[in-house]
Amino acid sequence: MSGILVYLPSDSPHGPVRRDLASGESLSFGRGAPGLSVGLRLDNPTIPRLAGEIFAVEDHWRLSNFSADRTYVVENPEGAGEYLRIPPRRASCPVPFEISRVVCSTHGTTTSFQVYAPQHLYLDSMEIDVPGADGFTTVSAFSLDQDAVYFLVLVALCEPRLRNESSTAVPTSRQVMERLSTLPGHPPTLRSINAHIDYLAEHKLHIKQPFERERLDGKRTAVVDTALRFGLVQEEHLSLLPHSRPGRGF
């Protein structure tokens, strides 16, 4: 894919709107007005006449917010709730997501459109060879075994946010135990689930915050936040969980 694609879903008789931008091209958006045309018209009276501008770069795009009093949100639909805030008057903010949803605050129904950037490029090797560099191999910051039970506990903790990007819920230890109750072999106990959470927080994710023993909700939240922030658990890991979910599941 060369350049970027801007896509506005629409229920109008005219159908959706598509705009293709080559590198170096820009596209203004807003509700427009007589004598003021915009490249992408958003038909909502609460949207500024000239709300902002998209600028295409070779491998990404930038967003300018022309509003003086409102913030735009750029969501990553593939990022388990990952998003950027574009504050008023912010100019040329780079957006790192391959697929994005630009959300404008309005009264009533949310007004949004999608932006598709070129596919991200990745290096062939996990670590670049530095000529003449000697010493020990770089140690992994997070060493997780995806075949271990603690990783299944981590995936179960992250499941609500991975399935619903707007979710802020973190399962309780009992909910995780019920979620994993159909695993082959010995089903996990509440005590073993809490032990796995302790192990994840203290030894695998290196969370240094002190937590009171009687309040594990903060520890579970910190574990989920760290795992999702660094991409340690992603949507494809949900396939590791049991297929049959309990009726009272989360």
DSSP conformation letters of 165-184: TT------HHHHHHHTTTSS
Q: How far apart, in whole angstroms, are the C-alpha atoms of residue 8 and residue 218?
A: 39
Residue with tokens 């596919």: 119
* Residue 200 and residue 110 share a domain: no
pLDDT in tens, 94-137: 999 998 999 987 666 678 899 999 888 877 655 555 655 566 66
Question: Is residue 176, in this structure, part of any structural domain at all?
Answer: yes
Task: Of 23-32, 148-157, 236-245, give the lowest mean pLDDT range.
Answer: 236-245
Alpha-carbon separation of residue 1 from 40, 123, 147, 224 (angstroms) = 21, 18, 36, 34
* Residue 42 and residue 112 share a domain: yes
Torsion, CA 68, CA 92, CA 40, CA 47, rounded to 10? -20
For residues 220 and 157, the answer to whether their CB atoms sit within 8 Å is yes
Helix (H) or strand (E) holding 115: strand 111-116
For residues 3 and 118, the answer to whether their CB atoms sit within 8 Å is yes
Question: Is residue 187, in this structure, part of any structural domain at all?
Answer: yes
Question: Is residue 130, in this structure, part of any structural domain at all?
Answer: no
- Residue 214: which pLDDT band, with cuts at 50, 70 and 90? very low
β-bridge mates for residue 104, sequence order: 111
Q: How far apart, in whole angstroms, are the C-alpha atoms of residue 168 and residue 164?
A: 9
pLDDT at 91: 96
- Contacts of 102-108 with C-beta under 8 Å, sequence gap 24+, read 102/63, 102/72, 102/73, 102/74, 103/72, 103/73, 103/74, 103/75, 104/42, 104/44, 104/47, 104/51, 104/70, 104/72, 105/46, 105/70, 105/71, 105/72, 105/73, 106/44, 106/46, 106/47, 107/46
The CATH number given to whatever domain includes residue 93 is: 2.60.200.20
Question: Is residue 248, in this structure, part of any structural domain at all?
Answer: no
* Residue 184 and residue 104 share a domain: no
* Residue 155 and residue 105 share a domain: no
Question: Is residue 107, in this structure, part of any structural domain at all?
Answer: yes
Task: Quote the domain boundaries for residue 167.
Answer: 149-240
Question: Is residue 12, in this structure, part of any structural domain at all?
Answer: yes
* Residue 82 and residue 19 share a domain: yes
Two tokens at 155?
């995936």
Residue with tokens 């994840």: 200
Q: How far apart, in whole angstroms, are the C-alpha atoms of residue 149 and residue 176?
A: 12
* Residue 112 and residue 29 share a domain: yes
* Residue 112 and residue 20 share a domain: yes
- The last residue of one of the domains, among 69, 92, 116, is 116
pLDDT in tens, 70-92: 899 999 887 667 789 999 999 99
Q: Which residue has the higher pLDDT, 138 or 158?
A: 158
Mean pLDDT, range 159-179, rounded to an integer:
87
* Residue 100 and residue 175 share a domain: no
Residue with tokens 């309005």: 106
Question: Is residue 142, in this structure, part of any structural domain at all?
Answer: no
- Residue 206: which pLDDT band, with cuts at 50, 70 and 90? confident
Whether the pLDDT of residue 247 is over 60: the answer is no
* Residue 100 and residue 40 share a domain: yes
Question: Is residue 139, in this structure, part of any structural domain at all?
Answer: no
Whether the pLDDT of residue 199 is over 80: the answer is yes
* Residue 12 and residue 88 share a domain: yes
* Residue 107 and residue 27 share a domain: yes
Could you give phi then psi for residue 229, rounded to 5 degrees? Answer: -65, -40
In a 10 Å sphere around its CB, with 0-12 CB exposed, 13-18 middle and 19+ buried, how is residue 42 labelled? buried
Our count of domains for the chain comes to: 2
Could you give phi then psi for residue 190, rounded to 5 degrees? Answer: -60, -40
* Residue 92 and residue 27 share a domain: yes
pLDDT at 65: 96
pLDDT at 248: 47
Q: Which residues contact 202 (CB under 8 A, 6 or more apart)?
A: none
pLDDT in tens, 11-61: 555 578 899 999 999 999 998 989 899 999 988 888 899 999 999 998 899
